[in-house]
Amino acid sequence: MGNKTLAILKPDSVKKNYIGDIVKMILAAGFKIKGMKMIKMTPESAKLFYLVHKDRPFYNDLVEYMTSGPCVPIALEKENAVAEFRKLIGATDPAQAEEGTVRKLYAKDKAENAVHGSDSDENAAIEIAHFFSTQELV
């Protein structure tokens, strides 16, 4: 199992001032922050990031949402990071997320769901490289 994953505090989390609370949960769960920045994604960047979903009905709305305001990508490190982080954030739809998870606490619905987490070690590496140069990873 790899030890890296990519989180994004999505635009709804930034707008609602949840950055501090969610970062606190991430650190309390034992993740180390290797890189962190605030950016506003361009449509090109968001389309590429979510290319795997290009044929899904929610793709255009997803790109619009992810470019609607600043977001905070965070490169994280922990043993078994991908699975551990997805456990911390809970199911895609907050209605199905377990109590105490980030999405249960902070997501509005299955679209505006507060946070992203990589789904495999391979994608974690691709997604970290999408946002961070090697210099930006400590």
SS3 per-residue string spanning 54-67: CCCCCHHHHHHHHC
Binding residue count for ligand CDP, defined by CB under 6 A = 8
**Cα–Cα distances in Å, from 62 out to 3, 80, 101?**
28, 28, 22
Name the one range near ligand CDP by CB under 6 A: 29-37, 75-83, 106-114, 129-137. 106-114
Judged by CB, which is closer to ligand CDP: 61, or 136? 61
Q: By CB under 5 A, which span of 9-17, 73-81, 93-101, 112-120 interacts with Mg ion?
A: 112-120
Residues forming the active site: 116
Q: How far apart (Å, rounded) are the C-alpha atoms in residues 132 and 75? A: 8
For residue 77, give the 3-state DSSP assignment: strand
82 scored as a contact of ligand CDP (CB under 6 A): no
Question: Which residues would be at the binding site for ligand CDP (CB under 6 A)?
Answer: 58, 62, 92, 110-111, 113, 116, 119
